[in-house]
Amino acid sequence: MKYRVMHKTSYTGREAVSIGHNQAWLEPRSISGQQVESFSLRIEPEPSIRSRQTDYFGNSVTLFSFNEGYQKLDVTATSFVTVLDQGSGANAPLAGQPWESAAELLRTHREESILRAYEFVFSSPRVNWNAEMKAYAVQSFPTGRCLLDGVRELTQRIHTDFAYDPRATTVTTPVQDAFRIRRGVCQDFAHIEIAMLRSLGLAARYVSGYLRTYPPEGQPRLVGADASHAWLSVYCGGEIWIDVDPTNNKFASTDHITLAWGRDYSDVPPLSGVFIGGGQHRLTVSVDVLPLPSKDVIRSKS
Amino acid sequence: MSTGTTPDTGSARLFQCPDTVFDEVYEADGRVRAHWQRLLHAFRQLSQNEFLRRNEQADRTLRENGVNFHAFADTAGAARPWRLDLFPLVIPSIEWAQVETGLAQRARLLNAIIRDIYGPQNLVREGLLPPELVFGNPEFMRAFWQLQPTELNPMFLYAAELARSPNGQWLVMADRSEAPAGPGFALENRIVSSRTIPSAFKQIPVERIAAFFVHLQNSLRRRAPRNSENPRTVLLTHGPTHRYYFEDVYLARYLGYTLVEGADLAVRNDCVFLKTLSGLLPVDIILCRSAESGLDPLELGANAAFGVPGLLNAVRTGNVAIANTPGCGIVGAPVFMAFFPQICEHLFGEPLQMPSIPTWWCGDPNSMAQVRDRFDTLVIKPAFQKSGGEEIIVSDLTKSDREALLNRIQTQPWIFVAQEKIARSGVPVWHESGIRCGHVAVRAFMVEDESHFRLMPGGLIRIAPDTGPMQLSVSAGDGSKDMWVLAEGKVDKVTLLAPGDQPAELRRTSALFPSRVADNLFWLGRTIDRCDFLSRVIRSLAERLLGDSSVEPLEVRFLARVLSEQGQLEPGFVVDGLESQLPALADAFPLAVFDSSEVGGLANSVSELTRLSSLVRDWLSPDTWQRIHHTAEAFQISPTHEWNDLADVVLTTNRLIGNLASVSGLISDGMNRGPSWRFLELGRSIERAGATARLLLTADLKGPTSSPAILKTLVEVLDVQMTYRFRYRDQLQRNAVLDLAITDETNPRSLVFQIERLVSHVDRLPGAETRPLRSEDMRLVMHCAHAVRMLTTEDLAAQVPRNVVNALRSVEEGMASLSNTLTRKYLVHSGTPRQITDFIGGAP
């Protein structure tokens, strides 16, 4: 499936911002199952300096800063991405194994891919857990249950037990609070499921990206009505990670476009920055995920 | 040992060590160890009284130098003074050389581990470092990944906490790899001890420690990112609220680096600049004494609110060097000690020379089994805390608490370490009651010199009163000692001063004047004059309340109103019918004067004096700083007396006025007429002119006459009694008083005098000469000057002096606007940085 994704962030301050330093994780990762045909990041006004770097987790991040004041800032990321169907992941080395052996493998083996995955077993700035969260998780992971079945059931339970409520949490709500009130948005659900899997010694990472949305039958697709999305990825042995989306109770397929991953939101916010001045300000974000007919794929490849 | 004896050392033992510890002074058979003999001989020449006197002298010197943890503290008494015991710890140079070899290897090892953790992570891959120590370590900051310089050691300055175990072997109790505190305290101890016991210091060949700081400077200079003859180095402090701020100020001054806080620095185009009054100046090297996790709010998040946005990327781009490189802190956690021997063998093919305190990581099942076996003899600590953290001595716990602790460890074993208890060696320590045995903690400092590490021939000694484990921070323990490493042969005398044979390049200014410093000096100036003005009003009121019936209620009401406008008194006392309230006012007044929670009151302003002068301590002469410190202290001691009455208020304000006058004297006699002086003086003149104008307005000049009582009070508060009497005898005339207070250029307390000074100060502010038209600040101050200068003798003598009142209003408003304009223009370069928080709304 090929997409054109446009992600526009606008910042408007009542007074001029005097100095600003920013980081953007807005470039889709090129990974197996996802090809990035093109990416552009337009920043207005033109920053004094910008550079593209690779972060610790292998994501590409753009740093940019302003020496001159500005009252309005527009950051527009445009990507053309092809997402391939990776199948169910049922063939992954650990998918059919008891979950305990996955945890054991992570703890004891030092091969490169396992070691890299082990990093995602520990608590991180935004993801930690308490006994109640672990107890919730254990219900889906009785002794000997195979890893993928446990993940599927846990995802489904979170989807059922938790209410989608954008007013209940903010971007800084601690994961344990979101768990307690059983409400939140995709970011909270991802953090909650990551915390639960880690409480069992399993490796789970946070994925920032976009989701293709389907307009209700008979209605046109609304441009810009989409949003940033977040889900998680579970290590299933070898080089294989399986993406699950507790917000929508599904395994990721060709509808999910990956931007970046990290231990949690704090490693890969789409846009973060520090600025001085600006007075009261407003931040608006619009995302447009446009599926392209396949002939476009051919044209752009030619 | 009884108090009756001198620290005599002839035959009797100086002190008794417990048998279970190593005695630093005596051999097992009671003979004095060879390297102590000369010191004991030198001390024998001092009488006991002399010894006592010198001990006091050392205490006094330290207090006057303001050596403490916390340059100032919010609650009185929270700052703890530094205590120095006059007996140094003596170490033979051959022994210290062995320590140097061992610690140099250790510094090399730590550097290799830091480089690996924040680079290829081979140690984890090869099984030499459990992955939990890196991935599960909250101190492992991904933002520091690949930040390490390629050719230089990331950690150039390193400190090891040492203890001597009962068998005489030195052990490393902890590693300090982030921004080791203490070298400045060691230096101060040396300076004080060599001055207090000069004869002993001269008789004994003691290695000098100044060379260490020369190496430090050279090593830092080599880190300059560009080929710069004279790279600009700053010392980054966490600021005056940090407990080692004293040392930051001390080191910055000694090493000749500008002391900066995060808000003084700015990043532009990936380069770091110092914000000064005359603009941005590039910075090449940052000697970091602040926590690495607080360096950059952009990449390290809200914990770094006081950092410099964009700083890490400036390091990454190679435009600035921070030393130690961010990331060094991680290996200072106790858990790493358990793995040093294997890693040392693996990386260098040699055994670890300097053993650590036996340490077990509970995350390893075999180690955990050992911990369980000898649980009762161990100390339990958090594995990843760089600066020690909570220490649990298992033998101090009840049986049930021990079990609870063991259970706690077993649920998350990887976050704990266990260590043996080490009984530290014993030394003689002077106490009021005689000489006792104290236990020694040594902080040894290493600095990189070219490719190897050098050990400071000295160190910071702290004394524990007993043999139990002691906290590892510099401020812990029961006093401190100097450490004397005996030199072999001639002592090499090094100094940080430039060689005498080369004339210095002459300068008139030091270019680096941070805006923050100007801001603090400005407010210090305002506060000095505010304290003076308030004291005078308070003194006058207290004298009247104390006095007999000859005092007119009018005067009391006037003074009470002045104080109420300044926020010193509740407005309730100012209403009519004050006569009936006099007793209540007399009772409440002393309390109000000494109540430091009264914002705007005198006690509060005096606390501000201490705070502000601490903030700019390195910009004031040591005498001025000490004087301000004393002035505040003398005032603050008063309220501890039980008899806080009006007489006490008079006494205290008298003393305060006198002390403030000597502060002013030191400033005007000694302070260089550079921008720092100018901002201090701007603050003083603005405060004084504003307060005088307000005072005169409060005196209510609208009526046809003014009461002689009010005029007398004005003359008193404005401190012009003498001049008035010389000119006019005792005849009080309003126009004459107004002339003295407003238009007399010869009176330094007159408005016109203060405003003319402001004109000349504002005229010399940076940038004034390059602008085409008058700046806003200049226009404001000229407007005030004009208003006052245009007054005529008729205006002053008018029945209803309307023009005088208008001029006073212009001055009052003008001073407030001028203060705001200056603040906006020069002082607050920086607002508070804020975070953009993006949001993610999920598609349901």
* Domain residue spans of chain B: 358-420, 513-671, 701-831
Q: What is the pLDDT of residue B619?
A: 83
B268 at the A interface (CB within 8 A)? yes
CATH of A99-267, one of 3.30.70.260, 1.10.10.10, 3.20.20.150, 3.10.620.30: 3.10.620.30
| pLDDT above 70 for B4 | no
For residue B270, the chain A residues in CB contact (below 8 A) are 49, 51
User: Of the candidates B143, B309, B844, which has its C-beta nearest A247's C-beta?
Assistant: B844
Does position B503 have pLDDT exceeding 70, yes or no? Answer: no
B131 interface with A at CB cutoff 8 Å: yes
Of the residues B125, B306, B839, the best mutation for testing chain A's interface (the one with the most A CB atoms within 10 Å of its CB) is B839
What's the confidence (pLDDT) of residue B633?
Answer: 85
Beta-carbon pairs below 8 A across chains A and B: 138
Q: What pLDDT, on the 0 to 100 scale, is given for residue B548? A: 62
pLDDT band for position B134 (50/70/90)? very high
Contact B838 A187 (CB under 8 A): no
Nearest CB neighbour to A285, from listed B126, B299, B839: B839
Task: Tally the residues of chain B.
Answer: 844
Q: What is the mean pLDDT of residues B556-565?
A: 88
In chain B, what residues touch A215 (CB-CB under 8 Å)?
none
- What mean pLDDT do residues A152-170 have? 94
For position A277, what pLDDT does the model report?
67
Listed ranges B15-29, B241-255, B471-485; the one with the highest mean pLDDT: B15-29
Measure the CA–CA gap between A277 and A286, rounded to whole angstroms: 24
Q: Do A272 and B836 touch (CB under 8 A)?
A: yes
Same fold: A2-83+269-301 with A99-267: no
Q: Give A-chain residues touching B269 at CB under 8 angstroms.
A: 48-49, 65, 67
pLDDT value of position A287: 93
| Chain A residues closer than 8 Å to B836 by CB | 11, 22, 271-275, 283
Nearest to B135 among A48, A119, A211 (CB): A119
Question: Is the minimum CB–CB distance between B836 and chain A shorter than 8 Å?
Answer: yes
| Contact across the interface for A119 and B298, Cβ inside 8 Å | no
Q: Cβ distance B353 to B172 under 8 Å?
A: no
Indicate the pLDDT class of residue B7, thresholds 50, 70 and 90.
Answer: very low
Domain B358-420 has CATH 3.30.1490.270: yes
- Shortest distance between the Cα of A235 and any Cα of chain B, in A, equals 16
Touching check for A163 and chain B: CB below 8 Å?
Answer: no
pLDDT by residue (tens digit) across B581-591?
777 788 888 88
CATH number of A2-83+269-301: 2.60.40.2250
pLDDT for position B669: 87
Q: Which residues of A touch B843 (CB under 8 A)?
A: 186, 211, 213, 226-227, 229, 247-248
Average pLDDT over residues B221-233: 82
Residue among A19, A213, A271 with most chain B CBs within 10 A, to mutate: A19
pLDDT, averaged across chain B: 86
Nearest residue to B686 via CA among B812, B502, B778, B576: B812
Q: Contact A119/B131, CB-based, under 8 Å?
A: yes
Task: For residue A277, list chain B residues with Cβ-Cβ distance below 8 A.
Answer: 831
B663 pLDDT exceeds 90?
Answer: yes
pLDDT at A10 over 60: yes
Can you tell me the distance from the alpha carbon of A21 to that of B296, in angstroms, rounded to the nearest whole number?
A: 11
Whether the CB of B279 is below 8 Å from some CB of chain A: the reply is no
Query: Mean of the per-residue pLDDT values for chain A?
Result: 90
The mean-pLDDT minimum among A165-174, B191-200, B824-833 falls in: B824-833
Q: What is the mean pLDDT of residues B622-651?
A: 80
Residue with the larger pLDDT of the pair B119 and B634: B119
User: Could you report the predicted ipTM of this complex, rounded to two decimals?
Assistant: 0.93
B124 in contact with A, Cβ within 8 Å: yes
Q: Does position B48 have pLDDT exceeding 80, yes or no? A: no
Q: B553: closest CA among B565, B562, B541, B564?
A: B541
Contact in structure between A243 and A22 (CB atoms under 8 Å) = no
Q: What is the pLDDT of residue A293?
A: 85
Question: How far is it between the farthest Cα atoms of chain A?
Answer: 60
**B270/A164 Cβ within 8 A:** no
Chain A partners within 8 Å of B131 (Cβ)? 110, 115, 118-119
User: Which of A273-282, B60-69, B140-149 shows the lowest per-residue confidence on average (mean pLDDT)?
Assistant: B60-69
- Contacts of residue A293, Cβ cutoff 8 Å, sequence gap at least 6: none
Q: CB contact, 8 Å: A166 with chain B?
A: yes
pLDDT, position A271: 92
* Chain B environment of A56 (Cβ under 8 Å): 142-143, 145
Q: Is it true that the peptide bond before B604 is cis, omega within 30 degrees of 0?
A: no
> Residue A189 has what pLDDT?
96
Q: Which of A249, A67, A10 is nearest to B271 (CA)?
A: A67
Segment B153-202, tens digit of pLDDT: 999 999 999 999 999 999 999 999 999 999 999 998 998 888 888 888 88
Please, are residues A246 and B841 in contact by the beta-carbon 8 Å criterion?
no
Order of strands, edge to edge, in the sheet holding B258-260?
A: B258-260, B233-236, B285-288, B321-323
Token pair recorded at residue A277:
């001045």
- The predicted model gives B619-637 an average pLDDT of 86
pLDDT > 70: percent of chain B: 87
Nearest CA in chain B to A230: B842
pLDDT of residue B672: 84
Q: Is B824 on the interface with A (CB under 8 A)?
A: no
Task: Please indicate whether, in this complex, the C-beta atoms of B268 and A67 are within 8 angstroms of each other.
Answer: yes
* Residue pair B63/B53 in contact by the 8 Å Cβ criterion: no
CA separation for the pair B526, B566 (Å, rounded): 14
- The pair phi, psi for residue A93, each rounded to 5°, is -50, -40
In Å, how far is B769's CA from the nearest CA of chain A? 25
With beta carbons under 8 A apart, name residues in chain B contacting A248.
843-844
